[in-house]
Structure 1
Amino acid sequence: MIRKMYMKRFIYFFVFFLLLTLSLFFVMNRLSSKTLEENMIGASKNQLDYVKGILDGIMYEANMYGVQFAADSDVRFYQRQVLELSNYDSQMKKNDIADRLRQTLLSSRSIESIGIYWKDEGTFLSTSNSLEARLPFNEIQRPGWRIIDDSLYYFAAYPYIQKSEQLKPVQYVVGVKLNNDYLKSLLQKAVNNDSSRAFLWFDDHRLWDENEVDNDLLKAISELLLPQEGATLKYDYHTNSENYYVLSRYIEALDTYLITYTRTNDFLKPLDHNRKVFLISIIAVLTLGLIVIFTFYRNYDRNIRLMERKFLQVEQGNHSTRITENTDNEFYVLFRSFNHMVAEIQDLFVSLKTETDLRRSAELKQLQAQINPHFLYNSLFFIMSVAKFSPDAVMRMSKHLAEYYRYLTRLDKHEVTLQEELQFAEHFLIIMTLSKKIEYAIDLPPELTSLPLMPLIIQPVVENAIQHGIEGQQGANRVNIDVKQAEEVILIRVSDDGKGLTPDEIQKLETQLDSDTPPEGTRGVGLWNVNRRLKNTYGDRSGLAFSTNDWGGLSVLLMIHVPTEKGESI
């Protein structure tokens, strides 16, 4: 098993083991956090329900006292009795009602004061000695809960049963004010630890709480709250450094929310501590594993990558490369074999290059021998035909013919310049103009004059344009040679206004040029030779292409691929 533990398998096993461990830790941590949070939320919900029950009892008590005194016969007939009784008896009646109000407060911790206000005579009776106690009663027209000056009141009015279609004026109002301090102390029962807070949140954004509440938290809570009676709703709130869960209970009678929020960071600190310890352990294991992997890399994988790079260099044609690094390890025998193999390949390629150069030289001489005699015979026949009546034509013909053949006899190398090759073609055109009515134009950009080029590739195309194009079309007499450069390709276009070729004939000609053997007979041999030499010398991206020009004649395009950085030719 250990012998088969290759580098990749070891890395895969290590990564799989690490990911499995991290996944298990993540799942366990999430389960622990979720369980703890669920227990916390459950306890908070129970306490919130407990406080809600107490608050419902307080509200019921206040409601009962308000209805009790609103329906009390002494209170109800007090205004009539005041008119009938003497001042003394009237005051005693008032004192009796006040005593009953005070006795009611003795049995309740949640009620701060009870007041009765008779609207017609403006009489106010209350257990509170505050002068401002009367003020909340002035504007009351219907029973219900009110929040006035951060205090909670329940108001009962007489008549306490009103029909909507026949509203009667209110005779008197009974107001029960709840004890703020008691309500605030009640909120403390809604929390179960120091990380929790509770408060009442009213529709107008007022609240009761003994502790300051974060404004951002209040704003977030106000946007989330939903008035759903009978259900405790949970919300999550997060800041950059703090996490909270918020519980709310809607109290429909007060249009108020009983809210608790708990900071969970304190409870999750032990889990965070365990997580950090575990992460440190994982990092230590990972570091140790990386050291082991690095050791394997230095001893094995790096040498494999080195071999791969060297083989790539050999594939790209660098046969002089050798491995001189890390020759003192177990890869020494393999490196030595590689160096010996590449040396043998290099010798083989040198021998093959020499043989190829000799073959190309012989082929070039053979192709030149096929081209030159054809033109020489035509020129000599022309001289013979004009010698008797035009000595000047003979002299001009002889002069350009001498220049023409001097160019051929001086070809002791495989390359000439583009300007020299075009001058050679121009000698040929001038010779043709002596015997034919031909007009020609040569366009060579100055920057391309010294471009190296193989000889005898333009003249055969020009000759073909005259013999098979112009001579086959009555009135045709124009030949243009245009040279351009497009990126890494030199384009030499030879155009004539001769009879041209149909698309089918062009396709047939291109098929003949792609053949490994020249076409039968003499037609097309010159173009086949040029196309073959271009491909042999400049690669398969070079060669001839044909198209119909604007004159209706044929344009032959010589494409010569000249890469920016030439590789070694074989």
Structure 2
Amino acid sequence: MKRFIYFFVFFLLLTLSLFFIMNQLSSKTLEESLIGASKKQLEYTKSILDGIMYEANMYGVQFAADNDVRFYQNQVLELSNYESQMKKNEIVERLEKPLLSSRSIDTIGIYWKSEGTFFSTNRDPQAKLPFIQVESKGWQTIDNSLYYFAVYPYIQKPGHPEPVQYVVGVKLNTDYLKNLLKKAVNDDSSNAFFLINGSQLLWSEQEVDHDLLKAVSDMLLPDPTETLKYDYHNYKDDYYILSRYIKPLDTYLIAYTRTNTFLQPLERSRKVFLASILAVLGLGLFVIFTFYRNYYRNIRLLDKKFLQVEQGNYSTRITENPDNEFYNLFRSFNHMVSEIQGLFASLRTETELRRSAELKQLQAQINPHFLYNSLFFIMSMARSSPDAVMKMSKHLAEYYRYITKLDHFVVTLGSELKLAEHFLAIMALSKRVEYEIGLPPELASLPMMPLIIQPVVENAIQHGIEGLQGAHRVSIDITQTEASIVIRVSDDGRGLAPDEIRRLKSRIACSAPPEGTGGVGLWNVNRRLKNTYGESSGLQFSANHWGGLSVLLLIRYPLEKGEAHAAFNR
């Protein structure tokens, strides 16, 4: 369920991320395309403006260097009034000729400073006023009009300027210049204007937003080499602004475009996609809720009940009755657990009967020679050592009372070692045997299956000590680790060679008991340990520092999930 939710969330996030990236790339590509087109239009407009400037400059220089204009004042002194008027008309006609082929030139005028004479294509008497104060050539803005002035002499010596004799002025057509701005815009979402002398004069066919104009005026840089781009944002619109500085005119050619109009299709696509994502999210949450209610919750319930069964609770049942496929599954589970409960009850009864029979068999397998030898020892020592007879009788009585009255399947480690101690004490009275039992006090009450240590101790006496002359030591040590209990029974008898240890391990590892009587006791102990405490438990063999044999009874705690009982409560 978690993986499904994680995958669903990951899929949504991945889709949103990809859409966001694609949308950003599309917006950026479209904006770059628009800006590129706008720059080309602005450059095209500037090239036209450069041509107009060149034309005005050419006419100004042409008439300033014209011989008729240069010598007109001297000729007037020698000509009659009629001839003088005809000369004037000739010069004016020459001034009017450029206007016939040029829409960008509004008027051309010549003003002689010393005489105050003024010729112009404009008949307005006020037309000469802009010429009066001119002292140098170049572009000037006067009365909201743009002029190019050429003066004579047009070549001045450095440090020795000559007074200006006359001024030739070419006035540009303001309406034509404003109309030229249409070539610098894309469509209705764009606008262009001339900003002359920084921010003193604005030429535009459309009204320019005051806040935008103020922001543009603060951002402009007088760079005549390239078109500069600026961004402007207000509370509802986004703009990109292109500016080209025209140095001779001290004028900025500016075009701005509202990007919202161009990005509206992408914005609509974004909204539609987000709405689709929200719909998918809602549908996904509905599917997840439905899956959780109808499937996942029932699966979790089934898993919980299986865990309870695994832990030994066979009385658990599923009482829910869902209206789906799980109804039959829950009925099958309840039937299965009921059958298992019955089987375990039968198995428990059979196990108890089997253990009872096994216990009785173990009791019947007590070596009768041990009893005979003990009784003969008592008879032989009755007269010479009554104290030895009392000790022997006491240990023998305790030993057989423990064995004959054993009627349950779980004893303590302390009682099992007490039985081994009685056995070793009896052997020490009849033979030269020294023994030592090391049992930590905290382990004395540890639950243990009965008659599991005594056969190993008996084997150490019969096959270890009695097999080597002079051998007489037996030790029993108990140690505990986090996962096991180790009971080590060691003797200083003849021991076993490595090959003999390997053969002994193979013999007790078989599923069937070995033929004959040899090794049956150890095989029986090993099998009981494995059956009760798991396959990792059992007997292990090794040589000890005495040179004899050490037998390890390894009892491991079961760590597998679902063990019905603890290892030492079986």
Contact 1:371/1:460 (CA < 8 Å) preserved in 2?
no
Alpha-carbon separation, structure 1, partners of 2:147 and 2:315: 101
- The residue that corresponds to 1:77 in the other structure is none
508 and 183 in structure 1: CA distance in 2 versus 1, 3 angstrom threshold: farther
Matched residue count: 437
Alpha-carbon separation, structure 2, partners of 1:370 and 1:243: 103
SS across alignment from 1:102: coil
Contact 1:184/1:209 (CA < 8 Å) preserved in 2?
no
**Aligned-residue offset at 1:567:** 1.0
SS across alignment from 1:441: strand
Alpha-carbon separation, structure 1, partners of 2:424 and 2:502: 28
Q: Which of the numbers 443, 448, 462 marks the counterpart of 2:443?
A: 448
| Corresponding position: 1:497 with 2:492 | yes
413 and 336 in structure 1: CA distance in 2 versus 1, 3 angstrom threshold: same
> Percent identity among equivalent residues?
69
Q: Which of the numbers 425, 434, 438 marks the counterpart of 1:439?
A: 434
| Corresponding position: 1:538 with 2:545 | no
Contact 1:531/1:544 (CA < 8 Å) preserved in 2?
yes
* Alpha-carbon displacement from aligned partner over 1:239-262 (angstroms, at most 9, x marks no partner): xxx99999999xxxxxxxxx9999
Letter in 2 for 1:37: E
**Aligned-residue offset at 1:416:** 1.7
Alpha-carbon separation, structure 1, partners of 2:292 and 2:504: 59
Contact 2:417/2:453 (CA < 8 Å) preserved in 1?
yes
Larger radius of gyration: 2
Alpha-carbon separation, structure 2, partners of 1:387 and 1:110: 155
- The residue that corresponds to 2:30 in the other structure is 36
Alpha-carbon separation, structure 1, partners of 2:147 and 2:451: 119
326 and 354 in structure 1: CA distance in 2 versus 1, 3 angstrom threshold: same
323 and 101 in structure 1: CA distance in 2 versus 1, 3 angstrom threshold: same
- The residue that corresponds to 1:559 in the other structure is 554
**Aligned-residue offset at 1:552:** 2.9
**Aligned-residue offset at 1:444:** 1.4
Q: CA RMSD in A?
A: 5.9
**Aligned-residue offset at 1:324:** 0.6
Letter in 2 for 1:40: L
- The residue that corresponds to 1:210 in the other structure is 217
Letter in 2 for 1:343: S
- The residue that corresponds to 1:517 in the other structure is 512
Q: Mark the runs of 5 or more structure 2 residues left unpaired by the alignment.
A: 55-132, 150-154, 165-194, 232-236, 245-253
Letter in 2 for 1:33: S
**Aligned-residue offset at 1:325:** 0.8
| Corresponding position: 1:102 with 2:99 | no
Letter in 1 for 2:136: R
SS across alignment from 1:484: strand
Alpha-carbon separation, structure 2, partners of 1:503 and 1:49: 101
Contact 2:138/2:148 (CA < 8 Å) preserved in 1?
no
296 and 381 in structure 1: CA distance in 2 versus 1, 3 angstrom threshold: same
**Aligned-residue offset at 1:499:** 2.9
* Alpha-carbon displacement from aligned partner over 1:278-327 (angstroms, at most 9, x marks no partner): 31343135324533553465346644654555456545654322221125
* Alpha-carbon displacement from aligned partner over 1:132-180 (angstroms, at most 9, x marks no partner): xxxxxxxxxxxxxxxxxxxxxxxxxxxxxxxxxxxxxxxxxxxxxxxx9
- The residue that corresponds to 2:397 in the other structure is 402
1:265-284 counterparts in 2 under 5 A? 268=263, 271-272=266-267, 274-284=269-279
Alpha-carbon separation, structure 2, partners of 1:474 and 1:561: 36
Letter in 1 for 2:407: D
- The residue that corresponds to 2:349 in the other structure is 354
Alpha-carbon separation, structure 2, partners of 1:234 and 1:483: 90
- The residue that corresponds to 1:459 in the other structure is 454
- The residue that corresponds to 1:298 in the other structure is 293
**Aligned-residue offset at 1:414:** 1.3
SS across alignment from 1:405: helix
- The residue that corresponds to 1:422 in the other structure is 417
SS across alignment from 1:494: strand
SS across alignment from 1:404: helix
Alpha-carbon separation, structure 1, partners of 2:406 and 2:265: 93
Alpha-carbon separation, structure 2, partners of 1:494 and 1:52: 110
Alpha-carbon separation, structure 2, partners of 1:435 and 1:261: 121
Which moved further from structure 2: 14-23 or 424-433? 14-23
270 and 535 in structure 1: CA distance in 2 versus 1, 3 angstrom threshold: same
SS across alignment from 1:457: coil
Contact 1:471/1:498 (CA < 8 Å) preserved in 2?
yes
Letter in 1 for 2:218: N
503 and 39 in structure 1: CA distance in 2 versus 1, 3 angstrom threshold: same
**Aligned-residue offset at 1:55:** 12
| Corresponding position: 1:287 with 2:294 | no
**Aligned-residue offset at 1:439:** 2.5
| Corresponding position: 1:46 with 2:40 | yes
* Alpha-carbon displacement from aligned partner over 1:333-369 (angstroms, at most 9, x marks no partner): 5543442343223212211221122122212321332
* Alpha-carbon displacement from aligned partner over 1:110-151 (angstroms, at most 9, x marks no partner): 999xxx9999x9x999x9xxxxxxxxxxxxxxxxxxxxxxxx
User: What is the TM-score normalised by the length of structure 2?
Assistant: 0.58
Letter in 1 for 2:513: P
User: What is the TM-score normalised by the length of structure 1?
Assistant: 0.58
